[in-house]
Amino acid sequence: MNNVACPQCGAPADVELAQCKYCGEKFNFSNKQKVAQQPEPVYQQQPQPVYQTQPQQAFMYDGIDPSWPIKNKTVAGVLAIFLGGIGIHKFYLGKIGQGILYLIFFWTYIPAFIGFIEGVIYLLSNEHNFSVKHRVRPR
């Protein structure tokens, strides 16, 4: 049995039949005609799309947003060491909720202890890390 592909639907068809059993297309094959193998399809690789990325306007300065308020880490550190018990450093950095929490519990001296430790951390951290962590711009 010699098989070729139907020119209409592409289904395998027998050369000895007069028409395709799937779509009914009539064949004009002669018995002397060689069986032609259908060539393997050649797949071309599609080019990958190239996306143009533009720098974000808000984070152009190494992770520091120009719309953040300008604060000094030294001032924040000194406020935390000396007035950290009542949360002045939190109000200075714009963290009002945490500042109120410090005010509520100032009588336990726990906020004073935490404020002292935060003040030391503020003073020992570098300018960039302080700015990104507390969302402020350095002076």
What is the span of the domain harbouring residue 10?
A: 1-38
32/79 same-domain check: no
- Write down the pLDDT at residue 135: 92
Read off the pLDDT of residues 25-80 as tens digits, 9 standing for 90 and up: 777 755 444 445 566 677 777 777 777 665 555 445 678 888 899 999 999 999 99
Rounded distance between C-alpha atoms, residue 69 and residue 131, angstroms: 10
| 121 lies in some domain | yes
Domain annotation covers residue 51: no
* pTM tops 0.85: no
In a domain, 29, yes or no: yes
| Gap between the Cα atoms of 77 and 116, Å rounded | 8
pLDDT band at 2 (very low <50, low <70, confident <90, very high): low
Query: Tokens 């924040």 identify what position?
Result: 76
One domain for residues 33 and 77: no
CA distances in angstroms from 123 to 64, 92, 105, 126, 128, listed in the order given? 19, 15, 24, 8, 12
Question: In total, how many domains does the chain have?
Answer: 2
- How many Å apart are CA 82 and CA 122, to the nearest integer? 13
122 domain-assigned: yes
Q: Residue 79's pLDDT is what? A: 97
In a domain, residue 28? The reply is: yes
